[in-house]
Structure 1
Amino acid sequence: MSVFPTEGMEMTRLLVVSDVAASRQWYEGVLGARVDREYESACVLSMLGGWILLVAGGGPTEDKPTVALAPPADADRVSAELIFRVRDCRGVYETLRTRGADFLTPPVDRGYEIRAFFRDPDGHLFEISELVG
């Protein structure tokens, strides 16, 4: 029996996008991600010691016979998000906004944290969050 998890393993976040090339440009330009590899309908990005895999949607396959991949159908109904813990939420907000991030609101101080939310071109939700205190 294999040990799981164990040192040397990595985790990748897969995001289904409508246009891999356009999304790649957004992730590079706005978030500062680096392209590690590109395939016909996918792009592997390296960021903050982790991986983001951008893929085009598609139907079921033999190893996932009931699963279809699709970008978010409704950006206001979210089942997952990516959160960046930052030291200066307001400063990062200004940096990302300047690069083209479209925030839902300016940073909000909730007492224990300051946070702000934005979306990628397909509606995937992101959060920048600063712990207070």
Structure 2
Amino acid sequence: MERFEASALTTMLVVTDTVASRDWYVSVLDAEVTGEYGTSVVLRLLDSWLLLVEGGGPDEGKPTVHLAPPEDPDRVSAQMIFRVADCHGLYTLLRERGATFLAPPHVREGETRAFFRDPDGHLFEISELT
């Protein structure tokens, strides 16, 4: 094989309660549940896969890795960014659906942006080019 090839990319998020998180992603972000097994939930969000799993200790494939939701939501190493057509309108809709934003939309470097978190503290951004 000469180059990396794959058929899909899935983002995994570690959550404290897959049922509560599943319901939040479905009701707030219109995600579609495509499967559930054990304590895992597979969602389709836009054109991407999202896997929600509960935390746990090491196993044979990852003998030193502990899965855990964010301990401090203000210390972020990754976030998901949604490019949107109407940041203010979506901000209002998502707040009505239960999203908690860090601040109202603001303009920075040619974008109108607003940041919110899921119930476990994972960071999301809606961003509109201005």
TM-score range, shorter chain: over 0.9
TM-score (norm 1): 0.95
Give 1:68's aligned residue: 66
2 CA distance for matches of 1:109 and 1:47? 26
Question: Is structure 2 residue 4 aligned with structure 1 residue 4?
Answer: yes
Q: CA deviation at 1:4?
A: 1.7
Give the Cα separation in 2 of the matches to 1:68 and 1:116.
31
What is the TM-score normalised by the length of structure 2? 0.97
Within a 5 Å distance, the mapping from 1:8-47 to structure 2 comes to 9-47=7-45
CA distance in 2, matches of 1:106, 1:5: 40
Same amino acid, percent of matched pairs:
62
Runs of 4+ with >4 A deviation: none
Structure 1 residues without counterparts, runs of 5 or longer: none
Give the SS at the match of 2:68. coil
- Which segments of 5 or more consecutive residues in structure 2 lack a partner in the other structure? none
The 2-side partners of 1:20 and 1:80 are apart by: 20
**Aligned-pair RMSD on alpha carbons?**
1.0
Aligned to 1:58: 56
- Count of aligned residue pairs for this structure pair: 130
